[in-house]
Structure formats: C-alpha cells, structure tokens
A and B are shown apart, each in its own frame.
Chain A
C-alpha cells in the first residue's frame, strides 16, 4: 500500500511502486481529467502539480512521491484564484478546440503564473513549450496567459 495526497485528500493505492502516477490517477482513482499522450514526458497532456511544480505524471513512478507531497490534478484547484482566472481566460477567448491537451495546458499555465505572475512572451514559451497541441491553439494559449496577467493588475 502506498499513501498519496491527491487534491488535499489522503488516498491509499495498492500498486507496484514503478506505476506512473498517471495510471494511478486514471485507472485506480478514476480521475480521468489528466490525460495520456506519449508516456515519455514529451507532450505534457499528463501535467499535474507536485508541491506546486508542474510534473509529467506519465513518467513519475508513484513509489518516488511519498505520503507528504501534495499532488494536484485538474480536478483539484476548483477554488484557487489563479486557476479560476486561467479557466476564465481560456473561456473568454475560446482557446479550446478538441480539448484533449487542455487540462495539461491549464495545469502548466497555472504553475507558470504562480511562479511568474507577469511572464514575458519568452517566459510563457519556456513554460508552455513542453505541452503539445495538435489543434494548434498555441496563439490563444499565449494570449490567454497574457490576459490573466493583465487581469491580475500586473501590466506587462
């Protein structure tokens, strides 16, 4: 049995410690908002936060996490002000197309904005270029992140 902190709750899972966090979230805990895309940390659709930092859950064995670290998924952060602002920015300019990569994009964007409230375009690209989107929503993601910064009252 491994103990994990997921979205503020303590959960116990009975899996091999080499099991990536992604599959524990999806297939053991039934939280499917975090997606599978590549399995090798190349595409970012599986992005979650571990202690606030963006992590590719497809390549993080659960046995390495431990019971103390706070794992946050797209299903968490419902009341978080930055998360709320990011979602609103996404909706305001209709970023989403097929939507499959967007939970990962949003988790990456939240982590970026928590670290750098007013990122430059270069910082946005550095923070977001690990997240692929086949629908090509990059321009709107960039714009939405800028809009969040502007709405927080930090002028670029």
Chain B
C-alpha cells in the first residue's frame, strides 16, 4: 500500500485486534438454537479451544467465534472461509458465533474487517490444524509432517483416520505453536473462490434473529420518544390517558426521553400517542438548516488547520498558466437502516443481559456498566444479526438509553424506536463545504492544488483520542489526501465547525464518500476545462500508478467509454483509492428532463488485493452503489426550529427497484496485494460518478448534494479565474 492513512475506526480496530488473544467463553441463553439462527454465544465447553476463534468439541462440532459482526457485508462467510482454509474443514459444517465483548469484538466498521482478519484468522486455523496433526502423530508414533489434515480428519501414513473431535482432547493438552506455516495462494482451496453465504438460509426462512426479534420470557415492550430538539429535556408529563390504554403497564422517564411500556408494541405506541409530554426544548430550538450552512460558510475564510501539504501551491498558482476554483456542498444524512433502532435489556441487582445489534459490543457493555453500577463482568451482551449498519450501529446511545429505562423495572424491557424516532433522532453524517483552487499548466493539468474542508471532526466526539494533536480528523484524508493522484504542490486545510442542534456521526463510506464527491467532481471539471476526455485526463494524472491505471483502463473498456450513446444520455467516471482498494466506476445515465434521472448502467473495475469471496465483493459494490445513489439523488436532512423535518420513508426517499440501475457489472482484477476494504467503496463511488454523468448530459456542473437539489439549477455557480 502507498501512504494510506488509516481512518479512525480502522485504527481502533487494528489496535484492538493486534492485542486480541484472551479467550472469553460466555455462557449465554438461550441454548439449543438452530445453527446460525441467531448469534447468541451458546453455553459450550469445548475440549479443544486453541485460540479465541476456534473451539472443537469431542462431539466433532467445530465452532468458529467471529470477531466482526455480520450486518450484511458477508463477513461471517469470509471469516469462516479464512479459518476453514487452514483448518481443512468444510465451511458449511461450521457453527458460527459472534464474539462476546472482550473476545475481539470491539468495533466493526471502516471497511477494515477483511484487512484485519486476513492474517490472524488464517493463523488461528493453521494453529489448530497443526495441534491436531501433532496429537495424531503422537497416537500413531509418527512424524506430524506425515499426518495430513483433510475435510475434518487427520489421515496417517498407514491409512489411519481420526476425526478432529476424536483428537480434540489430546490436542487441548499441547502447547499452542508460536509459528505456523500458512498455505501459499497456489494452495488455496476456498480463498478466492465463490462461496455461498453461510447466513442466507435462516434469513430466507424468516428464522434469523435480529435484535428486534429477541423474545425473552417475561419481556415488556417500550415505545420511546426523546425530546425532538437535541439538548432539550422532559418537562411536565401527564400519564393519566396513557395508563388507561389497554395493555400499557407503566410510563418511564429519563431526563431527555419518555418510554411507555406495554405488553406489546402497538399498545405501547398507543400509550405514547396518548401521553401528554411537554418538552423543554432549550437553546437549539432556534437552529435551522441555514444556521448550519451559514456557520460552514464562515469557515471558508479565516484561520484553518493545515492538515497536509507539500511543495508551495500558492507559488505554483501565482506562476500558473490558468487558475480554477469551485465550492462543493454536502448535506446532513440519516442512516435509515431497515431494522429500526432497538435494544432489549434485563437489569437485575446481580447482573444484566443485553440483546441487540451493535458494531461496538464493548462500548455497549461498558455504558451499561456505568448506568447500572454493575461490574462489567456481570453484564452479558448477546450480539444479534444487524438489520443494516452503515455506521449507525457504531453509536451505542440506544443501549445507554435502554439501560437507563431498564434499571427502573424488574422485567426484561425491549425498547423499539419507531421509524420516526429512528430518523429524527439519528446521529447524522455531517454537512460540509469544500473549496478547491488549482493552478494549471498550459495543457490544463494541475501544478498546485489547495483544498479547504469546512465541517466537524466526527472523531472528536466518537473517539477523542483519535483527534490529531493539531485538531485534525484523519478520516477527512480519505479521498482527498489519499487518492491515486500526485500533485506537484498541495495543501489541505481544515476549518473545524461543529454544528449546533445535531449530533454528527459515521456513515457508510465515511471520509471516502465525503471526499470523493468533491475531488472527483473537481478533477472532472478540470478535464472539461482542458477540453480533455475525463478518462484520458485521469490517465495522464496516474500514469505512474499501475494499479490505478489498470482499473481505469479496464472500466473504460468494459463500459464502452467513448462509444456513441442515444440522445439525452451521458457517462461519468470516478477513480478512487480508498480503504486499501482501487476502484474505477463508470455510470451511464439518461435524463429526459433535468429532474428525470435514469441510471442505465454502471460498470466497476476493482482491485481490492487478494479476494476472499469474489461474489460477495460484487454484492457489496452493487449494494454500496445503490446506497450511494439513493443519498446522492434524493437525501438531505433539514431542520426547522431545531426539529428534523424528515421522519419516514415518504419524506426520506430510498431508491426503489424501479429506480435502481438496470445493470451493474463488476470486474475484479486479480491481485496478490493484501485484502483491501470493500463494503464502503461502492457508496463512495456513487455520487461522483453519477454527478459527472449528469454533468455530461446537462452540460453543467453538479456541486451540491443531493443532485436533484434546486441549487444545481443553471444559475452560474461555475466560475473560472484566469491568474
């Protein structure tokens, strides 16, 4: 890899996994579930547990404990493949469990899972296999090297054959080898070949247990409403009418929210509707969307942190043949995962159980310890399948909230946020302004580039230790500093502005989604200004970067770049290096009118290093693109008097099947580089490739998101300065 900086979630993941090792066996109810139905760690005492990831019982059941949580990205399947490859076992025969907090499952996010798991999981599989071979060799009095592992058995030189289960007790007494030999890529039987997802069957049968599906005996259901303005609190509450609703049990309060508890969710919802709550809204009740944009505009001039620089871009601009500048704007975005936010909790005097879907299991456990005053080791978190993460479940405030309500009652309490609560009380991808200015040579190529980002530092709240000493958030470097391009002179500035009235958070593609829309749009504008084809212009800029060139050339060829199109159609390209993967994307659109966008076709060329499960790379790119197109075309969270104005799918539009691309082709480029991340790359590519395609049709630039915003109408935002 080149000078990739690791975004903060990635950094934390790496630190955690680097130190992983201690095996925590959690005994968690309920036992006896069908394989893969939930992700509840079962009460199992394995005779052989060589490391945090693998247990083999004398009953020949192999259980793999998976450090990253499954939220659709296919990580359970690829994690099992990595271990099964070295352990020489059929992945279909493996039982899967989510690691408990402290068992390696701290944070799943930042497209880091395949990167961080690539070595440790193969090593875990190889260590177990080596010990089983040694155990067999001792039984048969032969050299371990003569014992072959194959499909769950060790085969001896004289035709002996013992299952892993039969050897488990012996293997458990052996020391864990310090060094193990891993297969070479030529020996791979699983890695790099398509494998069906291991979590599909339970999901198509409706048997998979998501957090919202958890049923604990004796549980009650709570409908929650928090103060609609951030920072406000509960004023007077009249519970009389709510308590009269049939099925309502009680009304709970915390400082900023109320919860109506009932026998079932509908009764709780009716109770909440009947509840008379007066909110004390506080200072943020004056915040509108324009308050936030005005604050950002103030950051376009004045002091800023210099986040990255080389050469003297000002000097380059002063001597340039031409100059060009542009300002881009991006809105607040909600996550709107299909599974609304929920958490089930049972707080008792001597302990606590939590059932929920979370990307941050350890944080969820720790916050519950703080709220309840219970020691951490008395709190058990049962990770469930996640009905969509996209960064939303990197937040754990809903677990904190559940604990604050749950400690007031003796029974298990499941809180469910309505869709309205889920959207209006989301923690949003921030709004940003970006201003770029380039000095250009006589052919129109960059001699110096300055780029100022105005917006918040998400990491400052989410993980304060991740903020650089100078106040910079490294995540903003993805797609800006970290690109396939090199500039003769460059400066990146960051004017930090923390918006009032909202809490900002991670969102699918994090810095990459944010940065690529701006940089790939700007590069496209420069190509247009230079009168050079956008692919040819980028080609010239990456001529010394073979991996970038390869994806760009491949996508140009596969997409039919440059071939004639019907009327009102156009193509746009985006090139990226983010999350350790190279991606080039071409979007082909048809626009019968300025507001009528049909995505005819998308072509992607991907070099994400060593591929583990190729079809799941394709699936992640397809889905990531559609997630990104949805936001790019339609989505913007707005505020009025401190209240979020979008609250359900009729006002928060999600791309539907009839609006989705007719065709997406993903081309994988064979590579032996270490695996790069993939879950967020498609989302990051979507907005710039689509905006550039729309610009090609409409002959004007799209510098504002969402793309269908009236701000993108031809009112002459484009400006060119001759220097």
Task: List residues of A whose CB falls within 8 A of some B CB.
Answer: 15-16, 19-20, 23-24, 26-28, 30, 32-40, 42-43, 45, 73-75, 87, 90-91, 94-103, 106, 124-126, 128-142
24 sample A-B contacts, Cβ–Cβ < 8 Å, listed by A number: A15-B266, A20-B266, A24-B264, A26-B264, A27-B263, A27-B264, A28-B264, A35-B387, A36-B340, A37-B338, A37-B649, A39-B648, A42-B648, A90-B204, A98-B339, A99-B72, A99-B387, A130-B656, A134-B338, A134-B627, A135-B388, A135-B623, A136-B627, A139-B663
Q: Select A37's contact among B199, B203, B419, B664, beta carbons within 8 Å.
A: B419
CB < 8 Å A-B pair total: 182
For residues 206 through 242 of chain B, which have their beta carbon under 8 Å from a beta carbon of chain A? 206-210, 212-213, 215, 221
- Closest chain A CB from B208 CB (angstroms): 6
- For the complex, give the distance between the alpha carbons of A130 and B247 in Å: 32
Among B287-295, B569-577, B614-622, B706-714, the stretch that binds chain A is B614-622
- List 14 additional contacts besides A73-B206, A129-B656, A136-B660; criterion CB under 8 Å: A19-B267, A20-B266, A23-B264, A35-B339, A35-B387, A36-B265, A37-B338, A96-B204, A98-B385, A98-B388, A99-B204, A99-B208, A106-B204, A133-B338
Identify which of B247, B625, B656 gathers the most chain A CB atoms within 10 Å of its CB: B656
With contact pairs A38-B419, A91-B196, A96-B197 given, residues A131 and B73 touching in the complex (Cβ less than 8 Å): no
Q: Which residues of B contact A36 (CB under 8 A)?
A: 212, 265, 340, 416
Find out whether the CB atom of A91 lies under 8 angstroms from the CB atom of B200: yes
Find out whether the CB atom of B212 lies under 8 angstroms from the CB atom of A102: no
Binary contact readout B251-286 vs A (1 if CB under 8 angstroms, 0 otherwise): 000000000000111110010000000000000000
Judge whether B654 is part of the interface by a CB distance below 8 angstroms.
yes
- Closest chain B CB from A146 CB (angstroms): 13
With contact pairs A43-B338, A100-B339, A141-B657 given, residues A90 and B200 touching in the complex (Cβ less than 8 Å): yes
- For the complex, give the distance between the alpha carbons of A118 and B624 in Å: 30
Judge whether B332 is part of the interface by a CB distance below 8 angstroms.
no
Find out whether the CB atom of B619 lies under 8 angstroms from the CB atom of A97: yes
With contact pairs A26-B265, A96-B200, A135-B72 given, residues A87 and B664 touching in the complex (Cβ less than 8 Å): no
Find out whether the CB atom of B664 lies under 8 angstroms from the CB atom of A139: yes
Task: List residues of B whose CB falls within 8 A of some A CB.
Answer: 71-74, 196-197, 199-201, 203-210, 212-213, 215, 221, 246-247, 263-267, 270, 336-340, 385-390, 416, 418-419, 615-616, 619, 622-627, 648-650, 654-661, 663-664
- Closest chain A CB from B340 CB (angstroms): 7
Find out whether the CB atom of A96 lies under 8 angstroms from the CB atom of B203: yes
Find out whether the CB atom of A42 lies under 8 angstroms from the CB atom of B650: yes
With contact pairs A94-B619, A98-B338, A135-B623 given, residues A19 and B266 touching in the complex (Cβ less than 8 Å): yes
Q: Which residues of A contact B221 (CB under 8 A)?
A: 27
Find out whether the CB atom of B664 lies under 8 angstroms from the CB atom of A100: no
Find out whether the CB atom of B624 lies under 8 angstroms from the CB atom of A99: no
- For the complex, give the distance between the alpha carbons of A121 and B619 in Å: 21
- For the complex, give the distance between the alpha carbons of A24 and B267 in Å: 11
